[in-house]
Structure formats: C-alpha cells, structure tokens
Structure 1
Amino acid sequence: MRKELTRTKQALDEETVRKIIETTAYGVISLNGDDGYLYTVPLSYVYADGVVYFHGSPRGYKYECFQRTDKTSFSIVGQSQVVPSVRANNFQSVLIWGRLQTVTDTAEKLYALRALAEKYSPGISDNEEEIQHSLNYVFMVKLVPEWITGKQASLEVREAAEKF
C-alpha cells in the first residue's frame, strides 16, 4: 500500500479530510469481483467513531464481493470543478485504505443504522421504526482505516478556479 503522496504540496490538512469524509454523500469502493476483476461500486456510507459503515442487501453480487474482500480502498470526491483555462480539474479527494469487517454485534449495527439515518434523512419521524424493521435483514460492514490521505488540485489550478 502506497502511503505517502508524491505531490506533498497538494495534501489536504486533517480537518479538511475529516470534513470531506463526514459530509460527502457517497464514495467508490474497490472489491474483489469475479475472475480476478475488481468490482468498483459507488456506495452511500457514514463515518462514525473513526470507521466507515456501509449497508446493503445480504444477497446479490455486491454482497458476494464484500464476503471475499478483506483489504480495500475507498475513494471520496469532495469537490470537482473543471477549469477550462488551465485544462484541469479543481478537486479535493480522500482515499481510505483499510480492512473490511462484517458487523454482527446488534448494538453496533443499530448504532451504524442510526448514524446512516441521521446523515441521509435527519428529522424523519419514522427513522427508528425503519431501523428496527431492517435490523434483521440488512447486511452491515465497516471499513477500519489503516491509512487516509487527502489531496487537492495544484495551487495554479485553485487560483485559476477562483477567476473562473
């Protein structure tokens, strides 16, 4: 696993990285697919207590791929803006490397489902009813980060974007 950014001047500070992880609606995860192919799929998620939680159906191709993947990377694009004058993208992104673990503990699963509900449907009166209903059939997995990096466009691109 490559840990260090090549272009260190483009590294995001920890606070910006955390904000991107906490507020972005989805990211793309890489899983082991069939016949040696990677299966990359966009997923909604929630970041809570230092781990990333995903949920889904306990059947189907995505579920199968989660079952055969231990190490993974998860990519989040927090910002993307094409800047034609410099033929570049003014971006901010985060990459999380880590290990996947199936969540089997009921209390942790409830915690993650509540965190997901709060992120994606805050203030909805029947969130708890839906959470209790889905508790027994939802598949829950967590990504325990081993390394997190954040990167942004070069200063030249960021400055050009301000003029755009």
Structure 2
Amino acid sequence: MFREMRRKKQILSFEECVEILQKGTSGVLAVSGDDNYPYAVPLSYVYNDSKIYFHCAKAGHKIDAIAKNSKASFCVIDQDQIVPEEFTSYFRSVIAFGNARILEEEEKRKAIMLLAVKYSPDQEEECSQEIDKSLPQLCMIELSIHYMTGKEAIELVRAKNS
C-alpha cells in the first residue's frame, strides 16, 4: 500500500520520526483539494500517541477537503542545511500518512490543551482560560497516523556512523 523507500540507509527509525514530530513546531498538511488538486497548507500542530492535532476555522478549504476525502499526509522538516560547496543539503524530515477527522465537541478540549501547552508550556492556567473563551468557535482536527516514514541525507548517516 505504501511505497518502500529506495535509499534504505537513509531511513530514520520509528523513534527518530517520533522525536522529530514531538519537537517540530510546524508542518505541512496535504489533502485532496478542489477539483482533486493537491492542497498543502503549513500549520502549527501537536503530536500525541500516534496522532497529530491541529486547529482551524469551522469552514474553509481544509474542512471541505477532509469532509470529501479523509486521507491526508503531514510533513515536518527537522533540518535543511544548504551546503553549497557540495551542491546538496543536509536534511532530515518525516512524512506521516493517515486519516483526518473533525473532533467532536467533547474531544476538542483535550486536543486544544495539548496544542496550547506545547506552544505555551509554562502558562497552563492562562491557556485553559483562553480555551474556555474560544472553544465554541474552534475546530480541531485529528490525523490518525497509519504509516510514517523519515529520511535523512546520506552525509548525516555517515556522520552518525563515524
């Protein structure tokens, strides 16, 4: 169902992929958009227990696309160091594939709290108060990961192994 990576030496372990998702601050969600054109949008997110959560408006392109086709991918770039003299970049990235769904009212609070605490870790009380105010107009999406893969530049592999 999912393609095997050709450059097997460059594959990141599951643990490395999770680490990248946990520490990343933004990623790109890709869905099947209008007229089946790919629609990719950068956004803030939180990773928790093989799921990625993000918030959005209750109406718009993302919501329409997910309602039409729940399959989505999410990409996080951990490193992208351009090395001009070698005509390359030293990169590390993860792509997660899964199904997206709009969370029900009772599920939203937990998900938005995870997101808020990630970006404002020392302000849990303030986060909770802000969430109380904005929860009714807030939409939360959960991407359940079915398959995940990560890759890094061969130069980074060699540096780890030396």
TM-score, normalising length: structure 1 = 0.89
Q: Please provide the CA RMSD for this pair.
A: 1.7
Counterparts of 2:156 and 2:122 in 1: how far apart (Å)? 42
**SS of match in other structure, 1:118:** helix
Counterparts of 2:38 and 2:156 in 1: how far apart (Å)? 34
In structure 2, the partner of 1:81 is 81
Say whether residues 1:22 and 2:18 are aligned partners. no
How has the CA–CA distance of structure 1 residues 157 and 149 changed in structure 2, closer, same or farther, with 3 Å as cutoff? closer
How has the CA–CA distance of structure 1 residues 45 and 156 changed in structure 2, closer, same or farther, with 3 Å as cutoff? closer
In structure 2, the partner of 1:116 is 115
How much has 1:135 moved relative to structure 2?
1.5
How much has 1:146 moved relative to structure 2?
0.7
Identity rate, percent: 38
Counterparts of 2:156 and 2:111 in 1: how far apart (Å)? 40
Counterparts of 2:74 and 2:152 in 1: how far apart (Å)? 17
User: Is the contact between residue 80 and residue 91 of structure 1 (CA under 8 Å) also seen in structure 2?
Assistant: yes
Counterparts of 1:156 and 1:47 in 2: how far apart (Å)? 24
How many matched pairs?
158
Q: Which has the larger share of helix?
A: 2
**SS of match in other structure, 1:2:** coil
User: Is the contact between residue 66 and residue 101 of structure 2 (CA under 8 Å) also seen in structure 1?
Assistant: no
TM-score, normalising length: structure 2 = 0.90
How has the CA–CA distance of structure 1 residues 111 and 85 changed in structure 2, closer, same or farther, with 3 Å as cutoff? same
Counterparts of 1:158 and 1:84 in 2: how far apart (Å)? 19
Matched ranges for 1:11-160 at <5 A: 11-106=11-106, 108-124=107-123, 125-155=125-155
Is there any run of 5+ residues in structure 1 with no aligned partner, and where?
Answer: 160-164
User: Is the contact between residue 89 and residue 157 of structure 1 (CA under 8 Å) also seen in structure 2?
Assistant: no
User: Is the contact between residue 86 and residue 157 of structure 1 (CA under 8 Å) also seen in structure 2?
Assistant: no
Counterparts of 2:156 and 2:86 in 1: how far apart (Å)? 8
Runs of 4 or more above 4 Å deviation: 156-159
User: Is the contact between residue 76 and residue 95 of structure 1 (CA under 8 Å) also seen in structure 2?
Assistant: yes
Give the AA of the match of 1:132: D
The 10-residue stretch of structure 1 (46-55 or 57-66) with the greater mean CA deviation from structure 2: 57-66
How has the CA–CA distance of structure 1 residues 155 and 110 changed in structure 2, closer, same or farther, with 3 Å as cutoff? same
User: Is the contact between residue 83 and residue 157 of structure 1 (CA under 8 Å) also seen in structure 2?
Assistant: no
